[in-house]
Amino acid sequence: MNHQSAALVATGKCEDCFFVNVRPAAENDNRRWIGFLSNSKHIAAHHHPEPVPSKLGSQLKGDIIEVVQKDSTKTADDLSKGIGLGYIPISASPVAANKDIFRQFVAA
């Protein structure tokens, strides 16, 4: 898990399951991986919330492109606030919380 405050979700008793912690041989390398092995019918599953998506939805992306085509003076900041869209982008996609995502749509 990459985030220290990510909450775990109880999924029930786990029998005949083994978690394997893997780390690089170099002592100064802090990377860690967790593996899952089972000698029964258990399958691996996430026990934490999934990460936030990294791409805008196609509807929101299309709306942004339409607004920029109608008014090329719109800035990334305008788009992130929903100016010209009629709605606030973050209400349509959590990816819109990152204002940098809008820079790809505006003229440099």
Contact 63, 85 (CB under 8 A): yes
**First and final CA of the chain: distance in angstroms?**
37
Provide the pLDDT for residue 70. Answer: 93
Chain segment 23-37, per-residue pLDDT in tens:
888 878 878 777 766
Task: Give whole-number Cα distances, 14 to 1, 8, 38, 49, in Å.
Answer: 19, 15, 10, 19
Class of residue 53 by CB neighbours under 10 A (exposed 0-12, middle 13-18, buried 19+):
exposed
pTM of full prediction above 0.75: no
Task: Tell me how far apart the alpha carbons of residues 98 and 105 are, in angstroms, rounded to a whole number.
Answer: 14
Chain segment 68-81, per-residue pLDDT in tens:
999 989 999 999 99
